[in-house]
Amino acid sequence: MKLEVTGLIKCYGKTRAADGLSLFVEAARVLVLIGPSGGGKSTLLRMLGGLEVPDEGSVVINGRRLGVDEQALQAYRRRNGFLFQQFNLFPHLTARRNIELPLEKVHGHPPAEATEMATQALARFSLLDHADKLPAQLSGGQQQRVGIARAVARKPEVLFLDEPTSALDPEMTAEVLELIQELAEAGQDIILSTHEMGFARAVADQVAFVAGGKIEEMGPPADLFGASRSPLCQRFLSRVMRY
Amino acid sequence: MHRRHLLANGIIAILLVVVFGGLCTTVFALLGAQTDWSKAWEYRETLWRGWLMTLGISIAALIGSIFCGLLFMLGQRSPWVVVRWTCRAFLEFVRDTPLLVHLLFGYFVIFAPLMARPLGEHGFDDKLIIGILLLSVFEGAYLGEILRGGVDSIPRTQWESARAVGFSRVQVYRYVIFPQALRRVLPAMAGLFVSLIKDSSLLNVIGVAEYFYNTKNFISRSYAGLEGYVPLAVGYLLLTLPVAWLAHWLETRFRHET
């Protein structure tokens, strides 16, 4: 995946969640965003994912410029996958139905085909036993895995994950991270934000440190974690790696 | 403890039966001599026609109020400020004035001069149609608020997830928001529909020959008392109880953990 982000500005009231943010990635399979909470990771990810329109600046992914009108963004979102921290699933539908419904209504697959695709997606992440359960009957980790299954059921160009394990306990975190790593190894392009530094280091091709609405530093994980240049990044890493 | 509970329950039940029974006996004893059920039987046809009319009005206004309610709800979520404010002001006005005033004012001042003749010429009962319309708008204003509350109560992440999987604006409402919101507001909606059935009796002020209107005529013509009012109450119960039961059943049927 190739990414060119230039001069992004996004304000919520008086806070500048993105403050002239630029980011260039020549080629990366997995791009990981790290940084302090409130530093602009989520906002950046949401703008990259087409859920939020920047006030200024442009995003070009794989040579295609992201539109700003709702119709272009909707088409863009349909090509990609997006997962939030939690409550991704629709609580009134079973796990299987959660996957089938967008396939039928958004992508126009006939019901039988949608069912087949949903079965495959569930089987791929060994969730078939939970196919007919409602989200409330699943653990947090299982819910996130179903969420990911839904997001990748139709082979998205890019998968966006916004702190996918922040609401989970360590055991469930591990089960979700394993799955993400599997996807990355299978060749899925992924942009994700996380607080799991070990995971970022293991899975990322490029790591970007986001703080104060800007990219403070970017580089391959070995460089960034081993010898970061920016003092902000050094301080952040020394704090989160201490324990 | 268990025993004492049983005992207390028993005593309260007996007391209630005694009080209620006593009241009924007194009333019947006072009126007994004048109560003549054959009067009601004589007028059974008008009463039946009135009851059917009330049933018809209720069904029509129920559909009409759902339509109005959806419109008011969407109007309040409109991206245009003007539409939102107009909607808000109209709803506030409708909800804060009596239905009786809407009916009298709406029929005699606004609609009758405009529509009575054209409707009558085409063989329609203008009072009935205008009455249903006014009732639909009134109940729709309440329904709009109920629906808005339900839609607003769906967490932000649901809207976002729905957008993220690629649903269009209409699909977001259709497949994600409404199914969840309707479950939450079902009890309130059932209450409103019961109110609607009862409120339809107010249409008598513009001369619609519904159940209350016909019963009132029967009572004033035959000087009936109990034999007029008891069927009146029972007639409305026959309409409202099924709605209440149905709502209760749907509620248990669709209850899901969130």
Task: State whether residue A17 is helix, strand or coil.
Answer: strand
User: How confident is the model over A174-192, as a mean pLDDT?
Assistant: 92
Shortest CA distance to B251 belongs to which of B195, B191, B174?
Answer: B191
Instruction: Report strand pairing: A3-12 vs A15-25.
Output: antiparallel
Q: What are phi and psi of B26, to 5 degrees?
A: -60, -50
Interface A–B counts its CB contacts (< 8 A) at 64
Q: In the prediction, which pLDDT does B118 show?
A: 76
Structural domains in chain A (count)? 1
Q: How far apart are CA B168 and CA A75, in angstroms?
A: 10
Q: In the prediction, which pLDDT does A110 show?
A: 95
Domain CATH number, residue A140:
3.40.50.300
Chain A residues touching residue B160 (CB < 8 angstroms): 51, 84
Q: In the prediction, which pLDDT does B45 show?
A: 86
| Predicted confidence (pLDDT) per residue in A33-91, tens digit | 999 998 899 999 999 999 999 999 999 999 899 988 889 999 999 999 999 988 889 99
Smallest CA–CA distance from A161 into chain B, residue: B164
Task: Answer whether residue A188 shows pLDDT above 90.
Answer: yes
Q: How far apart are CA A118 and CA A132, in angstroms?
A: 12
Token look-up 């299987």 returns: A96
Q: A60 burial class (0-12, 13-18, 19+ CB within 10 angstroms)?
A: middle
Task: Answer whether residue A196 shows pLDDT above 70.
Answer: yes
H or E element: which one contains A116?
helix A111-124
Q: In the prediction, which pLDDT does B258 show?
A: 46
Chain B residues touching residue A105 (CB < 8 angstroms): 167, 171, 175
Contact B183 A150 (CB under 8 A): no
Chain B residues touching residue A84 (CB < 8 angstroms): 157, 160-161, 164
H or E element: which one contains B83?
helix B81-95
**A77 in any annotated domain:** yes
Q: Which residues contact B36 (CB under 8 A, 6 or more apart)?
A: B224, B227
Assigned token pair, A190: 């992924």
Q: How far apart are CA A123 and CA A131, in angstroms?
A: 9
Residues of chain B with pLDDT under 50: 257-258
| Predicted confidence (pLDDT) per residue in A111-168, tens digit | 999 999 999 999 999 999 999 999 999 999 999 999 999 999 989 999 999 999 988 8
Range of the domain at A165: 28-52+69-240
**A19 in any annotated domain:** no
Q: How far apart are CA B194 and CA B237, in angstroms?
A: 10
Q: Give the N- to C-terminal CA distance of chain B in Å, as an integer.
A: 37
Contact A146, A89 (CB under 8 A): yes
Strand ranges for chain A from DSSP E? 3-12, 15-25, 30-34, 56-61, 64-65, 81-83, 158-162, 189-193, 206-211, 214-219
Shortest CA distance to B203 belongs to which of B53, B90, B48, B46?
Answer: B53
Q: How far apart are CA A94 and CA A102, in angstroms?
A: 13
Task: Answer whether residue A100 shows pLDDT above 60.
Answer: yes
Contact A101 B164 (CB under 8 A): no
What is the pTM for the complete model shown? Answer: 0.80
Smallest CA–CA distance from B257 into chain A, residue: A136
Report yes or no: A87 at the B interface, CB cutoff 8 Å.
yes
Contact B176, A90 (CB under 8 A): yes
Q: How far apart are CA B194 and CA B244, in angstroms?
A: 7
Task: State whether residue A98 is helix, strand or coil.
Answer: helix
Chain A residues touching residue B180 (CB < 8 angstroms): 90-92
**A62 in any annotated domain:** no
Q: What are phi and psi of B244, to 5 degrees?
A: -60, -45
Sign of CA pseudo-dihedral B185, B190, B195, B200: positive
Q: Quote the minimal CA–CA distance from B247 to chain A in Å.
A: 18
Chain A residues touching residue B161 (CB < 8 angstroms): 84, 87-90
Residue count (chain B):
258
The one-character DSSP state at B137 is H
Report yes or no: A148 at the B interface, CB cutoff 8 Å.
no
What CATH number has the domain spanning B41-257?
1.10.3720.10
Task: State whether residue B96 is helix, strand or coil.
Answer: coil
Annotated domain spans of chain B? 41-257
Percent of chain A with pLDDT over 90: 74
Q: In the prediction, which pLDDT does A242 show?
A: 81
Contact B142, B190 (CB under 8 A): no
Task: State whether residue B43 is helix, strand or coil.
Answer: coil
ipTM, 2 decimals?
0.87
